[in-house]
A and B are shown apart, each in its own frame.
Chain A
Amino acid sequence: MKDIIELSEKQEEAVSYKNGALLVHASAGSGKTRVLTERIKRLLDISKKKVLAITFTNKAGDEMRVRLGDSEKIKSQVFIGTFHGFCQQVIEMRGNLIGLSKMPQIFEQESDRLLLIEQAIQSTPSYLLKYKNFDEKKQRDFRYRTLEFISKVKRELLTEEELLNKTNNNEDAVLLFHSYQEILASQNAIDFDDLIMLTHRLFINNPSVAALYRRTYEYICIDEAQDLNNAQYQLLKSITNGEYENVMMVGDPNQSIFAFNGSSSDYMNKKFIEDFNPKIIELKENYRSAKKVIEAAEKIIPDSNEIINAVIPGIFEVVSCENESTEAEWILDKINELILLKEHDDIEGQITYEKIAILARNKYVFAKLEEELIDASIPFYYKITPGAIKFESITMNIFDLALRVKLNPSDNLHLSRLLRLLGVSGVTSLQDIGNFIDVDHYKKALELVIGLKDDGSNLKKSLKNFSVFIKETNSIKEDDDRKMILDEINEILKHWTQYARKTDKESLNQFKNAMALGQTHPLATPKGITLSTVHTMKGQEYEIVFLMGMDDGTFPDYRAVRNGGIEMKQEKNNTYVAFTRARRFLYVTFPEQRLMPWGAVKHRTMSRFLKKLS
C-alpha cells in the first residue's frame, strides 16, 4: 500500500521532474526531504537502474532510508549515504587501481589527526626548532592551522607543483604535508579528505570506472547541496564527465553550516548552474510550523526567517486557570475535544493521542494532570532521558552523592564532589563529614544516608521521616526550595515502589543501577500522549503541544528569577524551544495559585515571558 502524500504544486513539479539537471531551492520547513524521497520513489518506478542519493550526514541518510522504506527494490537500487560513504565503498572495491590493494584504515577523528600532525612536526626537523620555541598555546594553534592547511590542500585536489605554487613556495608547509601523508601511509591509513581525493583520482585516471558509475546510476540526487565543497563538486563532475545531466541538487542557500569545511553555496548556486544549466524550482512555503505558532515564538525571540512563508494558520492560545486542578481539567477537556474532532484542515491525517505532547519546565508540574489522565483512562507516557534522576535541590544532591560514596567507598570522584558541594575538605569518611556541616537539613540528609540498610528495607520509612522534617524545619527559608526538595523525595519513593515491585530481593546497590538504566521509571513505554520536560524534548516536534505551568517562578524557574543574568537568558531560550516544539497548535496554560505539599496555598502570576503575548 502506498501512502498518499499530498504535495503542493511546486513540490509536485520537483517530484515529477524526470530527465535533466534540477536545482531545488528549498527554505526551512518547505518539505525538502519529502520532495527528495518522493522523487526517488517515482524515479524508481520508471527506471531499472540505480539512484545515487547523497546526504550530508549519516543521520540524514538514516531518515531518508526510513522514509523510503526497506523494500528489496529500494535496497538494491538506491545508494543512500554521504560522499564519504560512497567513496569508501569505491575505494574498498577498486583501490587496487590507485595502488591500494588493502582497504586502508580511515582516520576520521580530529584528535587522531592532530596526533599525526604532532608526529609530522617531530619528523620535520627543519620546522621542529621553530615549533619548540612556541609557547603551548601557539603550538596548539599551529597544529590546528596545519591540519586545516592539509585538509585544504586535499579539498583543492592540488598536485605536487600546484601545492608548492599555492603555498608561495613555503617549503616547510609542503614538507609537513608530505610527512603527514607518509605517516598515514606507513600505517596503511587515510584521512577523511583523502577518501574524496583518492576517489576523484581513481575516476580521473580510469575513465572506464567513472563510466561504469555513470551507466549504473541513472540519477544522482544531492541533499544539502549548499554545503558542497570543491573536492565533492569535482568528484561529482568526474562522474558526470560532461555527458550526464540527471543531477538533482536540493539546498537552502540561506543555510550553510559547514563553512569551516571549505564548503560554499557557490557550488550549488553558481558552478552547478554554469555547468549543468539546471531547471530551478523554488520551494518557499513553510509547512513545518503554523503561522500563529511562529508569530508567538517570534515575540519571545525574534527570528525573521521563518514567518514570511508560513502557509498554515494554526492555533495559539494562552489560558489562565484558577489553580492546578482547573489547569489539568482544562487541558483534559481540550484533548477530548480535539480527539473527538478527529480531523482539522491544519493537521495531516487523523488527530490521535500520538500527535499530542504536554510540556513543562520540570516534571513535578505534571502531578495533578497525571492523576486526571489516569482517571480518564487516556494513554500517556513520560519521555525520559536514560540515566539516574537528576536532582536539582542541593539537599537531594547531597543525598545522591552520599549514597554513591556509601555504596562504593572507593568512589573518590563523587566523594570530592560531595565535599566541594558542602565546602568541606580533608575528610574521607561520610561519618566525619557530618561534623563539619552546620546547615540542619544538609546534615539530616547525610545522616539519613548513613543510616540506610544495604537491603534498602528502611529507605521508604527514612525518606518519609525526612519529608516530615523538611516540611517543619526552619532552616529552609524559601517555600519554593522546600517544595522542590519534597517533590524530589516523592520522586525517589515512586522509583523505589516501581523497583520493589519488580524484584523479590531488594538491595540499595541494585536499586541505584536499575534507576540509572531507566528501568524504574513509571509509565515510560512510548504510547499515547507524550509528557516531557522542555529539556528532554529538544530536537523533536509534535503537531499539538500543551505547555503547562507557565507561572513565574516555575517557568522561568524561581532560581533564575532570583539570580537573573545568564540563567534568565537560558530560561528565555528554553521558552522559545518549548514554543517551537509545536507544528500546528500551541496551548499555553498556567494556574493562578498552587497548593504547597505542606497544605499552604500560594498565589502565582503569569510567566514574564507571556506578558508580551497577551
Chain B
Amino acid sequence: MNILIDTVRIYGFRGLRNIEVSLEPFTVLTGMNNTGKTSFHKALQVVLGNRLFISPDDFYISETEKVNEIIVDIRIVPIDNDAKKANNFTDEWLEIFTDDRIIVNAEGEQFIPLRTVVTIDSITNTFKTKQYIQQEWVVFKNEDDKHWYQSENGTEKPFHFDETPFFYMDAQRDIIEDIKVRNSYLGKMLSKIEYSKKDIIAIEKQIKELNEHAVESSDVLSNIETTLKELDTAMDNTNNGVDITPFPKKVRDLNKGVSIQYSDFSMEYHGMGTRSWSSLLTLKSFISLFAKTSENNDKPFFPIIAIEEPEAHLHPNAQKKLFGQIAGIQGQKIISTHSSYVAGSAELEQIRSFYKGHDDVVCGKIDTSGFSSEDIRKIKRQVINTRGELFFSKVIIFCEGETEEQAMPIFAEKYFGKSTIEIGIDFVGVGGQGNYLPFLRVAESLNIPWFIFSDAENTSGKNIKVSVQNQFLKCGTTKTESDSIVFLNDGNDYEKQLINDGFGREIKKAIASLDIYKNKKHREAKGAKRLKEIESYDNEKLYEIFTGSKTQFGPAVAYAIIESNKDLPQKIIDLFDKIKESLNIKR
C-alpha cells in the first residue's frame, strides 16, 4: 500500500454542512448517534462508488440554508512504507493516474485533489455528478473567509479505476441474506466459482451416482420415479425422460444451493452476531481474491473499505478480535463505531470523533505529536481503557473523586429535569487532583465540551487550585478558565463546601439513612439514641465521617439535599449554569 486518502472535505451532504476529516490507513469514527458518521461513509461512496442511492434528501437543509450542490473533495497522496507522506507516486500508480490527474505543488509534492460535485435538476429530479481535478489543494478557510468549497473546480476528469474499488458494508449485514442475494460480496464470489472441464465431468459423474444411489435407496423416491415414467407413454419423448435428482445435477447450479454450516449448525440457527461477523469475513475474503487477481495481472490495488459498526451484536472480546481482523484487510479502512471496546482497541491517532454542537458537525482527533510516550500511556490506561464511553459523550464533567462523580448526576437530573443519559452528560472522577491532564487532552482533541468541578483546598503544602490551573494550561484549549472550571471556595473540598453551605442537616440525614440494623426490633431499640447522637455532631465531626471512606455518602447526601427541597448547592448551580449555556439546553 503506497497511496492514501489523507483528507476528505464535505460540503452540503445530509447533516454535514462543512467538515474536514483527515484519514489514516485505518480510521475509527466515534461520536454520538446522528453526528454524521454514516453520512461520511456515504459521501466517500459518492466519490468512489455507486451513486444510485443519491436522493433530494441528501442535500443539506437547515432553517436558514439549503444547498443546491454537494461538494466532496478528497486528496490522495503517495505514502512510504511507514505510512508517512511521500513526495512522488510510485511508477505503478503514476501509470494509473498519469499527468491527467496528478498535481504537483510549488514544493514539488505530488497529490491528487479530486473534487466531486453533485447537482440536482429540479425539473427532472435527476442527479448529475461531475468530477474534477483541482489545480491545488486550498486551505480549509483562507484569510478572506473564503472556504475551500468556493475555490475553482478545475479540469473535469472522471475518477473511476478498477485499482481503487470502494466497499461499503452497512450495519444490517447478514450472511443468510448474502447467500441469497447475487450482488452481495458472497453472491458475487459464488457466481464466479470455476472448475476445469475435467473436474466438471468428474464431479457431475459423482453427483449422478450419488443421485442414483439416493433414489434407489429410497422407496419413496423410486416410487415417484416409476410413476412419473408413465409420462413417457403419453408423450413422444425421445430424451431421457424423468430424472429425480435430490442433489443439483449440474455443477453450475451448485452456488444456488450453497449453505454454510458453523459448528454443526446451519447459519440459520445462529444468532445475528455470528451471522453479521461471517458476512464481514466474506468481504475480507472477497477483497483478498480481488487482490490476488490484481497481483497476477501485475496491477496495483488499493481498496477503500467503509464498515458501519462492525461490533454489531458481538460480545466485547469478539469485538476486540474483530478489530484485529479488519486491521488485516488490505487497503484503507474507515469504520464507524459506538463501542468503547472497538474505540479502545484503536491507536489514539486512528480515532476521529464526530461532534455536533450548535453549528456544523465538526471532527476531532487526538494529535499525539506533542505528547511524550508517558503522556500517551497515561491516556490509554487512564482514559481509553477505563472510560471509553467518553468517545460518545455530549459533554463531560471532570471531578476529583468518586463522591462527586456519583452525587452530581443526581443533582443534574434535578437541575435539568432530564436524566444525564438523555442529555449525554458524563461525569468522570479522574482519581486525584493530579490526573486531569490526560482526560483534558482527550476531550479537547475530540472536540467534546468539558468542564472541571474542582476542590480548592491545600493539602500537605500543595495548592490544588494551582495544580489544576497548570494542567488546564497544558491541555491546549482555547477556552478561558472561568468558562470551564468551577472551583469550590478557597480551602474547601467538596465535603467541607457542603457543610459550609449549610447542608449539615441533610448530611446528618444521610448518615442516619446509611445505618444498618439487624432487624426491626434492633432499630426500635437503638434508633432513637443513634439519631440523637448524630444530631449532636458538630461540623468537624460531620466532616470526619463524610470524608471517612464510604463512597455511598455521595449519593445519599445528594438525595437528602434534593428531598429537602432546598436550592442545590451554589457551586453546583454555577457549574450547571455554564453547561446549560454551552449546550443551549432548556431546563
Contacts and interface: CB of A to CB of B under 8 A. Distances in A.
16 contacts: A49-B91, A76-B98, A92-B155, A93-B133, A94-B104, A96-B136, A97-B104, A97-B105, A101-B152, A206-B104, A206-B108, A208-B87, A209-B104, A215-B88, A215-B94, A216-B99
Contact of B99 (A95, A97, A101, A212): A212
Nearest to A97: B106
Interface in B93-123: 94-95, 98-99, 102-106, 108, 110
Contact of B95 (A48, A94, A206, A212): A48
B154 interface: yes
B98 A50 contact: yes
A216 B152 contact: no
Given A97-B106, A208-B104, 7 more contacts: A48-B95, A101-B152, A102-B152, A206-B106, A206-B108, A208-B108, A209-B104
Contacts of B105: 97
Nearest to A52: B99
A213 interface: yes
B435 interface: no
A212 B110 contact: yes
Contacts of B136: 96
Interface string B78-96: 0000000001100100110
Interface string B117-141: 0000000000000000101100000
A209 B99 CA distance: 9
A339 to B, nearest CB: 47
B180 to A, nearest CB: 35
Contacts of A48: 95
Contacts of B94: 49, 215-216
B135 A96 contact: yes
A212 B104 contact: yes
Contacts of B103: 93-94
Interface in A206-251: 206-209, 212-213, 215-217
Contacts of A49: 91, 94-95
| 3 nearest A-B residue pairs (beta carbon) | A208-B108, A96-B135, A216-B99
A190 to B, nearest CB: 16
Interface centre among A49, A95, A206, A209, by most chain B C-beta atoms within 10 angstroms, is A209
Interface in A190-212: 206-209, 212
A213 B106 contact: no
A234 B11 CA distance: 43
Contacts of A208: 87, 104, 108, 110
Contacts of A102: 152
Contacts of A94: 103-104, 135
A212 B155 contact: no
Nearest to A209: B104
A102 B155 CA distance: 11
A93 B88 CA distance: 18
B92 to A, nearest CB: 8
B91 A93 contact: no
Nearest to A50: B98
Interface in B48-89: 87-88
A101 B146 CA distance: 15
Interface centre among A76, A96, A101, by most chain B C-beta atoms within 10 angstroms, is A96
Nearest to A93: B155
Contact of A95 (B104, B106, B135): B135
Contacts of B91: 49, 215
Contacts of A217: 99
Interface string A65-95: 0000000000010000000000000001111
B152 A93 contact: no
Contacts of B87: 208
Q: How large is the interface on B (under 10, 10 to 19, 20 to 34, 35 or more residues)?
A: 20 to 34
Contacts of A101: 135, 152
Interface residues of A, number: 21
Contact of A93 (B95, B106, B108, B154): B154
Contacts of A95: 135
A206 B105 CA distance: 9
A97 B103 CA distance: 10
A391 B105 CA distance: 63
Contacts of B152: 101-102
Contacts of B88: 215
A163 to B, nearest CB: 26
Contacts of A50: 98-99
A103 to B, nearest CB: 9
Contacts of A92: 155
B297 to A, nearest CB: 11
A207 B107 CA distance: 10
Contacts of B106: 97, 206
A76 B97 CA distance: 10
B108 A216 contact: no
Nearest to A49: B95
Interface in A413-439: none
A213 B98 CA distance: 8
A212 B93 CA distance: 12
A23 to B, nearest CB: 26
B98 A216 contact: yes
A93 B135 contact: yes
Interface centre among B104, B108, B136, by most chain A C-beta atoms within 10 angstroms, is B104
A569 B225 CA distance: 97
A50 B135 CA distance: 21
B102 A212 contact: yes
Contacts of A209: 104
Contacts of B98: 50, 76, 216
A76 B95 CA distance: 10
Contacts of A207: 108
B99 A213 contact: yes
A96 to B, nearest CB: 4
Contacts of A96: 135-136
A217 B155 CA distance: 20
B466 to A, nearest CB: 52
B169 to A, nearest CB: 30
Nearest to B154: A93
Interface centre among B88, B95, B105, B106, by most chain A C-beta atoms within 10 angstroms, is B95
Nearest to B98: A216
Contacts of B99: 50, 93, 212-213, 216-217
Nearest to A103: B155
A76 B162 CA distance: 14
A209 B94 CA distance: 13
Interface in B213-268: none
Nearest to A79: B99
Contacts of A213: 99
B470 to A, nearest CB: 46
Interface in B430-456: none
B429 to A, nearest CB: 54
Interface centre among B99, B110, B135, by most chain A C-beta atoms within 10 angstroms, is B99
A212 B102 CA distance: 8
A219 to B, nearest CB: 14
A96 B136 CA distance: 8
Interface centre among B98, B110, B133, B152, by most chain A C-beta atoms within 10 angstroms, is B98
B50 to A, nearest CB: 21
Contacts of A97: 104-106
A384 B204 CA distance: 66
A87 B103 CA distance: 15
Nearest to B91: A215
Interface centre among A50, A93, A95, A96, by most chain B C-beta atoms within 10 angstroms, is A93
A294 B105 CA distance: 57
A217 B95 CA distance: 9
A76 B101 CA distance: 12
Interface in A448-491: none
Nearest to A212: B104
Interface in A569-586: none
A49 B102 CA distance: 14
A139 B147 CA distance: 51
A407 B25 CA distance: 76
A49 B106 CA distance: 24
